Copies of this chain bind each other. A is one copy, B any other.
Amino acid sequence: MMKDPLFSDIGSRLSARSGINELMEDLGEAVAGGHRIQMGGGNPAHIPESEALWRERWLEMGETPGQLESTLGDYDGPRGKIQFLEAFSEHLRNAFDWEIGPENLAVFSGSQTAMFLLFNLIGGQCGARRRRVVFPLLPDYIGYGDQAIDPGTFLGVPGAIELRGERGMKYRIDFDRLRLPEDTAMLCLSRPTNPTGNVVSDEEMRQLEVLAQKSDAYLVTDNAYGMPFPGVIHRPAAALWTPHTIHAFSLSKLGLPGTRTGILAAPAPIAAALARMNANLALANPSVGQALVTPLIRSGRLQALCREAIRPYYARRAAHAAATVKAALPSGMDFRLHENEGAFFLWLWLPELKVSASEAYMELKREGLLVIPGDRFTPGLREKWDHPGQCLRLSFGIPEDQVERGAAILGRVVPRLCRQIP
């Protein structure tokens, strides 16, 4: 009989049953034909206009001599396809007026991989010091939580809760509480925020950049749901590019998660180091996503798709989902939804939840609805903070009738999990 395998300390930690792999297992189950309603994962919606464009490009690649041969059959250099790097940096120059070139970019197998490399390139033990990664506005992305090889790297700071009207809320960066440790290497946030749909304001971003600059640190913005693709942001927002900023981008939320295409924009020495690290760990990057979109970026068709189809689609779906969930919950119950300023999620706060968020998740799963418990979205949290345990993240990137069925399950289950049943 074989003993249980022995894992290294790092291996045990990085392979622990964590928020993100439970989520991905749930998502995999759904994709493989499970019957639960999938308001858990962050799978992008199947938007007809997007899919028509992917199909057109796919067939064009298949019919153009040479394109397929090089895309499938050649390794790219460690930074990604030159043509893609040129097209994407040109777009960033034109759209945001950034001074940026291919030397500032590097491609990775998805932005999750990009963030893993970035956190561990810059954060962690550095001689006698421990360089910290600070998440200045919790809740933030579940997938960051277990990515530090050096476990003491992350520090997460709870956001301030602003109540808005009867059913609304919004998190704000609590600058009074945000004391950066001396060895801060990075401030990091997703914008729009996954899980809340928050878009941190330009003014707050500028304040964070000043803090980063003072600490000789970087302000890292994860734009997976935001600029420039898919551009699911419903309020004016600028994108800051200075010697102290780093940006992560992704093609996943456009509708191309299966291609695994993430991109980092950073000061040139950092982009170069990340590309070397990626060559060492992963040899090269997936080429198909880059090849599919390069001519669409050059022609502006991808930008038009985001503007004319994708963003309006999610704006409609956000309004529908919020109205449906509000209507399904008893009017006498205390609940709030975060303002949806972008991304694909409703963030539901249930101040009177009498079970843990994990128990609520399990109970809803038993009843056929997958969501994510709010307390998973607390990378680096070191203090007691009950609030996220009273919250659930609900993804609305699924067909409307499923949102309606999901809301009905919420309406049936949630009241009995809360203290006050009206």
- Partner of A109 from the list B72, B76, B286 (CB cut-off 8 Å) is B286
Complex contact A8–B125 (CB within 8 A): yes
- Judge whether A399 is part of the interface by a CB distance below 8 angstroms: no
Q: Mark A59-79, 1 if CB is under 8 A from B, else 0.
A: 101110000111111111111
- Judge whether A120 is part of the interface by a CB distance below 8 angstroms: yes
CA distance A126 to B12 in the complex (A): 9
- Judge whether A9 is part of the interface by a CB distance below 8 angstroms: yes
Contacts of A127 in B (CB 8 A): 9
- Judge whether A273 is part of the interface by a CB distance below 8 angstroms: yes
Nearest CB of B to A270, in Å? 5
How many copies altogether?
Answer: 2
Query: Nearest CB to that of A59 among chain B residues?
Result: B62
Complex contact A276–B4 (CB within 8 A): no
Q: Which 9 A-B pairs have the closest CB atoms?
A: A28-B77, A258-B287, A11-B121, A112-B283, A8-B124, A21-B279, A109-B109, A15-B277, A15-B273
- Partner of A8 from the list B17, B63, B122, B244 (CB cut-off 8 Å) is B122
Interface residues of A (CB under 8 A from B): 2-11, 14-18, 20-21, 24-25, 27-29, 31-32, 41-44, 46, 51, 54-55, 58-59, 61-63, 68-79, 82, 109-110, 112-113, 116, 120-127, 131, 143, 146-147, 149-150, 185, 216, 243-244, 252, 255-260, 267, 269-270, 273-277, 279-288, 291-292
CA distance A21 to B272 in the complex (A): 11
Query: Nearest CB to that of A44 among chain B residues?
Result: B73
Contacts of A123 in B (CB 8 A): 8
Contacts of A121 in B (CB 8 A): 7-8, 11, 14-15
